[in-house]
Amino acid sequence: MNVFEKTNNCIMSTYKRFNVAFEKGSGVYLFDSNGNRYLDFLAGIAVNVLGHSHPVVIKAIEEQSKKLLHVSNLYYIEEQAELACYLTKISCADKVFFCNSGAEANEAAIKLARLYKKDNRYKIVSMKDSFHGRTMATLSATGQTKYHSGFEPMLDGFSYAEFNNFDDFKSRVDDKTCAVIVEFVQGEGGINVADRVYIEKVYDYCKSKDILFIADEVQTGIGRTGSFFSYEQFGIEPDIITLSKALGGGIPIGAMLAKDEVAQYFTFGTHGSTFGGNPFASYVSYNVIKYINESGLLDRVNELGDYFFERLSDIADKNGLSAQGIGLILGLKMNNGKEADSLIKKLLEKRVLVGKAGDSTVRFEPPLIVEKEHIDEFLSVLESVI
């Protein structure tokens, strides 16, 4: 049996897969089993931040795998502590809880928000078209009914405000509201960028009512938008930040960061994870994020992001479409879903990998190590098929 048959026979059908399987990767390229080369402008949905087979990732994997993979959070773990101290040094947060995925990071954030002050406030406002994960709490926080379908009832206490509409947000807050959860760029929802003034207003309102501001940076964090955390570009300091995807450069890891006054409510026994922050994932993550922060990569993300966006906007204008996004999380909004699907298929035929966001946006999230010539190569293929 080949990989397609084995998958269809033995794996549950939760994913709609393209008919291709990759054998290896190098930089911004992936190679299938026939040796065909693909330009990767999706990076495993914003995970492979340093591309494929990056020396920093390989070295960290080699070093730590020879020492220690896993012990348990019953013991002190040097690599985990080092990563936590680094994350708190570079962010506005004081403490970290480690887990293994974006959904787990948001699940932890939701639980912490409900514990905050223990004053029986439990409601959380999220945004329409948001995406926060597939566990029952994060699904309940996700403002897209298509993901809820079949799993109702959702957990009590979640409501969905129109993105970038402050009055709508305000109307959904009451004296039982403990938190708001926001993505600065809605990734799964269509590459929708938050308005800075809107974010500031929501944040100030939250401060005035002692409501926690949770920044879901699972997709936008770790340099994707041009700053290490996206909140840095929005003039606020979230109470809670969630991270995953790029955090491990390809190794699964998630983290929920919080300020001390909030983090103190996670006490002994309130939450936990067997694998969360194990020595292996922590060491790889530490090396990945240190490299991102200290190698000047973020300056390049800004520079190349601007260049990419400008050229993408030209193509969009010529075709009556619109370009959206910031940094290296960009999208091309097509006229409808069929057009988006067709463009993705045509790009795959030309051996270029991209993704879909929302109903009708084609999204581009190359590894952050992308070079100008890769962007040019991508845009010339895009122009030829659009």
Ligand X SMILES: Cc1ncc(COP(=O)(O)O)c(C=O)c1O
> CB of 50 within 8 A of CB of 224?
no
Q: Does 219 engage in binding with ligand X (CB under 6 A)? A: yes
Both tokens of residue 315?
Answer: 């193509």
Contact window for ligand X (CB under 6 A) among 48-56, 70-78, 173-181, 213-221: 213-221
Both tokens of residue 300?
Answer: 């390049």
Q: Does 230 engage in binding with ligand X (CB under 6 A)? A: no
Q: Does 223 engage in binding with ligand X (CB under 6 A)? A: no
Inter-helix orientation angle 279-294/297-318, to 10°: 80
Smallest distance, ligand X to C-beta of residue 127, A? 11
Q: Which is nearer to ligand X, 30 or 110 (CB)?
A: 110
Q: Does 218 engage in binding with ligand X (CB under 6 A)? A: yes
Which residue among 91, 140, 230, 244 contacts ligand X (CB under 6 A)? Answer: 244
Q: Does 102 engage in binding with ligand X (CB under 6 A)? A: yes
Smallest distance, ligand X to C-beta of residue 288, A? 16
Question: In which residue are the tokens 């994870």 written?
Answer: 273
Q: Which is nearer to ligand X, 42 or 381 (CB)?
A: 42
Q: How far apart are CA 19 and CA 315, in angstroms?
A: 28
> CB of 113 within 8 A of CB of 124?
yes
Size of the site for ligand X (CB under 6 A): 14
Contact window for ligand X (CB under 6 A) among 99-107, 156-164, 276-284, 336-344: 99-107
DSSP structural state of residue 246: G
Q: How far is CA 353 from the centre of its chain?
A: 18
Smallest distance, ligand X to C-beta of residue 385, A? 26
Q: How far apart are CA 376 and CA 384, in angstroms?
A: 12
Q: How far apart are CA 24 and CA 137, in angstroms?
A: 36
> CB of 96 within 8 A of CB of 88?
yes
CA distances from 154 to 104, 122, 159, 181 (A): 17, 14, 11, 17
Smallest distance, ligand X to C-beta of residue 161, A? 16
Contact window for ligand X (CB under 6 A) among 214-222, 275-283, 295-303, 373-381: 214-222
Q: Which is nearer to ligand X, 312 or 357 (CB)?
A: 357
Footprint on residues 111-170 left by ligand X (CB under 6 A): 131-133
Residue ranges in contact with ligand X by CB under 6 A:
101-103, 106, 131-133, 183, 187-188, 216, 218-219, 244
